[in-house]
Amino acid sequence: MIDPKYLLDFEKPIAELYKKIGDLKKLARGGDINMEEETRAMEERIDALRTEIYSRLSPNQIVAVSRHPLRPTALDHIALIFDSFTELHGDRNFGDDKAMIGGTAVLNGIPVMVIGQQKGKSTKDNIYRNFGMAHPEGYRKALRLMQMAEKFKRPVITLVDTTGAYPGIGAEERGQAEAIARNLREMSNLKVPVITVIIGEGGSGGALGIGIGNRVLMFEFATYSVISPWGCASILFKDSGKAPEAAENLKLTANDLLGLKVIDEIIKEPVGGAHNDHKTASENLKTALINNLNVLLAMTEDDILKDRYGKFRSFGEFIEELHD
């Protein structure tokens, strides 16, 4: 069970049940009474209530789940899914960006290149990882690894989890926009299969910088948007308090994006979100990766390029009207 202190605001009814379980255990210890049956029944009620709550989350609540501090990171998934992961460092130009990780690995016997944005798990770790917001050297490192993968004919798998690229002065001075734009162009022309997975937050150009794939998969409670609800509300409504309204209109949930053909598949999360069960979440991701990779590996290089081009040309919906 997840520590009650990590429950989100909309999970307060669950917090009350956790408190009752604590009371039962305290009573059992104090009076030497067997309360296992009562405790088990309470835990089943928690599971049922959590299932009900997560079946009707609003977009703003899904944003909270995608940002949960215990949500599995790129390195968490890599450890549970891939074999023989060897991290590679540096962009061969400026430095090694700790917010962008990548390296060679093996997936179900297939050599691959894995690249992802990495958030921290504590204040100190988040500072080290720059909260998952990559600098230009992070995107240049990612591109270097993708080009290496193409040279050795390894499929590329990218794990997206960022609020956006780092907007600091140093990043801008070192060409943040150019680095992302170049990645968009070069990823479009990679002759090896590329699978992108939105594992948490997919924010703005920072996400797109490693997001041009033949297949774009997305976890059930992840988000993918041009801007955060708070940023959108501040700009459009001049009031960040209207973030829930902005979240509704941004169409940032997996179900919305699947309907718009921005993503190709939704990966099911465990009851209560991926943060409740890392192992099951990673197992679901591994199955999806293997299934999609098997399809893409059967394609020729020309077919891979056409497939990726066709995917991005099919985004969205439009209506044509004829006028006299």
pLDDT tens digits along 19-77: 777 776 676 666 666 667 777 777 788 888 888 999 999 999 999 999 999 999 999 99
267 pLDDT above the threshold of 90 = yes
Residues 162 and 218 in one domain: yes
Structure tokens at 260: 């718009």
Give the pairing type, strands 156-162 and 83-87: unpaired
The whole-angstrom separation of Cα 99 and Cα 182 is: 19
Residues 163 and 260 in one domain: yes
Structure tokens at 54: 């997560």
**What CATH number should be reported for the domain holding residue 299?**
3.90.226.10
Residue 319 lies in a domain: no
Range of the domain at 81: 63-313
Residue 30 lies in a domain: yes
Residues 155 and 221 in one domain: yes
Residues 39 and 94 in one domain: no
Residue 322 lies in a domain: no
Please give the pLDDT value at position 28. Answer: 65
Q: Tell me which DSSP letter residue 6 carries.
A: G
Instruction: For 186-197, write each residue's pLDDT tens digit.
Output: 999 999 999 999
Q: At residue 142, what are phi and psi to the nearest 5 degrees?
A: -60, -45
Domain end, chosen from 56, 80, 96, is at 56
Residues 30 and 124 in one domain: no
Confidence at 9, pLDDT banded by 50, 70, 90: confident
